[in-house]
């Protein structure tokens, strides 16, 4: 069994749900060598998150953004953490709901995702910078 761990950065993106499967795969070409294994992907931030969802219809990403903005609105009167602006506390709530990691099976050199599944970087800040990841690949 082989262990590979890499850190990489993705460029900053605007607020929203972004399909990043190809970006992730481009930074971990070693996946092609794994016949059977697991990729653990960890995002090193508290105001962005990761999830797996629809990879074909971009309206899903837009609908998710609208829903999460209703779920965790800006300027709610009960927030006390507002030092970094009105999008800061809602970003932390959204990131906590979705999480900062994914575990995906690898089969025959490919992520074993469903036909319509892709990896999303969920950016919850209006003016976020680049995002740092740790990818840990284990397999044979």
3-class SS letters over the chain:
CEEEEEEEEECCCCCEEEECHHHHHHHCHHHHHCCEEEEEEEECCCCEEEEEEECCCHHHHHHHHHHHHHHCCCCCCCCCCCCCCCCHHHHHHHHHHHCCEEEEEEECCEECCCCCEEEEEEECCCCCCCEEEEEEEEEC
Q: What is the pLDDT of residue 82?
A: 86
Joined tokens for residue 86 = 């009105």
Which structural domains are found in the chain, ordered by start? Answer: 2-74+83-139 (2.60.120.460)
Mean pLDDT by 10 residues, the chain (140 residues): 96 97 98 98 98 97 98 95 93 98 98 98 96 98
Q: What is the pLDDT of residue 96?
A: 98
Q: What is the pLDDT of residue 6?
A: 98
Q: What is the pLDDT of residue 1?
A: 84
């Amino acid at each position: 069994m082989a262990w590979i761990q890499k850190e990489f950065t993705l460029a900053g993106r605007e607020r929203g749900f972004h399909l990043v499967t190809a970006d992730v795969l481009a930074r971990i070409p070693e996946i092609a060598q794994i016949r059977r294994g697991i990729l653990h992907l960890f995002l090193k931030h508290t105001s962005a998150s990761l999830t797996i969802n629809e990879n074909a219809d971009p309206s899903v990403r837009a609908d998710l953004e609208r829903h999460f903005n209703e779920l965790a609105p800006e300027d709610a009167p009960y927030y006390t953490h507002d030092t970094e602006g009105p999008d800061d506390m809602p970003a932390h709530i959204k990131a906590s709901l979705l999480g900062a990691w994914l575990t995906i099976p690898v089969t025959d050199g490919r992520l074993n995702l469903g036909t319509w599944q892709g990896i999303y970087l969920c950016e919850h800040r209006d003016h976020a910078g680049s995002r740092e990841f740790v990818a840990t690949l284990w397999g044979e």
